[in-house]
Amino acid sequence: MKRVAVVGVGQTKFGEHWNSSLRDLSTEAGALALKDAGVEGSSIQALYIGNMSAGKFVSQEHLSSLAADQSGLLPIPATRCEAACASSALAFREAYMSILSGQYDIVVAAGAEKMTDIRGETASAALMGAADQEWESAIGLTFVGLYALLTRAHMQSFGTTREQLALVSVNNHKNGALNEKAQFPFEVSVEQVLKSPMIADPLRLLDCSPITDGASAVVLASEEAARKFEKPVWIAGSGQASDALALHDRQSLTEMLATKAAAKIAYGQAGLSPGEIDVAEVHDCFSINEILAIEDLGFCEKGKGGSFVEKGNIARDREMPINATGGLKSIGHPVGATGVRQIADLVRQLRGECGKLQINGAKTGLALNIGGSGATAVVHILKAE
């Protein structure tokens, strides 16, 4: 099978960018990725950009052409990919497959979202477009409400505790405190999490990822082209799967079947088992989602995710480092940009370029990006040379 590598990465700082537009952010991330790869825009043959809801957030559709235009990449083909919060992981996967097809040698995959130009409650309503409109959003459910239901189911079935959920945020903020790109670069304690405002019982404010602006981009190259670049990081596996959109149609509320299916594909392609992954970036839009991910990716038995976290196994210097750069919780979650940001952070880890956040000896990394409440899951496995 042909191989594809990531040869350049770029990311804006995530946060509230009052003086930057969506086009500013996407252009900045793209320029950083090209600079990191050491290539000119004239070498790029196609662009794939993930974005969930620019039409509702900033009244801008047709983002693919805008991004190509503002980045000086015309007249290459540009495609926008949408899969809710997994939009840019999907863009990355489409870019990867376009090279595998033999159509292109060097392409850009990116993600961007500008979420703070509208009021918080309007942003929350826009995000519910990723749920079942007829059976969930129309009756007043929010995403934190949906994940609260998943949390209750997990607590009831397996005895997962509020303290174990809080430790997810504690770990991720501890890592994010050292990340200059993070929206919230500070530590939190279990007590602070448990005393933060209730949003949807049992999830509190510090269990939830924030509303964020930001963009990320990576440059991908075919095996032949990648040999011309320094420190290529290879895509060893790529899996995508779907589940029912509405929670009431799911087979289970205590596992994400799309994650398990996508992971099985990616592990199979990579020829790796969960125990051979050195570092993972997983989708912690809410603290319960990280616990579900740990279980569904095979890092521990189903129902043991809470205790796995409690034992400290997800810390940077322990058994399975999770969200070593801060996760969605601390870095922020511009929904269309998160998937490629995860890839970029893994690439830096596998290159040994993460400074104080570096996982010593990391050679394999896994990224899990979730769309909505689990209806889409995209898993990628990367390997150092």
CA-based nearest residue to 216, from 118, 334, 324: 334
List pLDDT tens digits, range 262-279.
999 999 999 999 999 999
Q: What are the Cα distances from residue 205, in Å, to 15, 177, 194, 330? A: 17, 18, 9, 12
Considering the domain architecture, whether residues 253 and 297 belong to the same structural domain is answered as yes
Does some domain include residue 125?
no
Considering the domain architecture, whether residues 163 and 220 belong to the same structural domain is answered as no
Across the range 53-81, mean pLDDT stands at 95
For the chain, how many structural domains are there in total? Answer: 2
Across the range 352-363, mean pLDDT stands at 95
Across the range 141-149, mean pLDDT stands at 95
pLDDT at site 364? 98
- Is 62 marked active-site? no
Considering the domain architecture, whether residues 112 and 164 belong to the same structural domain is answered as no
pLDDT at site 127? 87
Across the range 58-81, mean pLDDT stands at 96
Does some domain include residue 199?
yes
Q: What tokens were used for 177?
A: 């405190």
- pLDDT over threshold 90, residue 16: yes
Q: State the burial class of residue 223 (Cβ atoms within 10 Å of its Cβ: 0-12, 13-18, 19+).
A: middle
The CATH number that applies at residue 189 is 3.40.47.10
Across the range 177-189, mean pLDDT stands at 98
Residues 6 or more apart in contact with residue 343 via CB below 8 angstroms: 6, 9, 89, 92, 109, 216, 218, 281, 367, 380, 382
Across the range 322-337, mean pLDDT stands at 98
Residues 85, 208, 285, 354: which is the catalytic one? 85
pLDDT at site 197? 98
List pLDDT tens digits, range 29-48.
999 999 999 999 999 999 99
Distance CA 257, CA 118 (A): 33
Considering the domain architecture, whether residues 106 and 147 belong to the same structural domain is answered as no
Considering the domain architecture, whether residues 78 and 205 belong to the same structural domain is answered as no
Across the range 13-22, mean pLDDT stands at 97
CA-based nearest residue to 335, from 113, 76, 21, 33: 113
Residues 17, 173, 283, 333: which is the catalytic one? 333
Distance CA 295, CA 37 (A): 35
Does some domain include residue 89?
yes
Across the range 180-207, mean pLDDT stands at 98
Considering the domain architecture, whether residues 55 and 182 belong to the same structural domain is answered as no
pLDDT above 70: percentage of residues in the chain? 100
Q: What tokens were used for 288?
A: 């319960």
pTM of the full structure: 0.97
- pLDDT over threshold 80, residue 1: no
Considering the domain architecture, whether residues 284 and 206 belong to the same structural domain is answered as yes
Is 95 within 8 Å of 219 (Cβ atoms)? no
pLDDT at site 27? 97
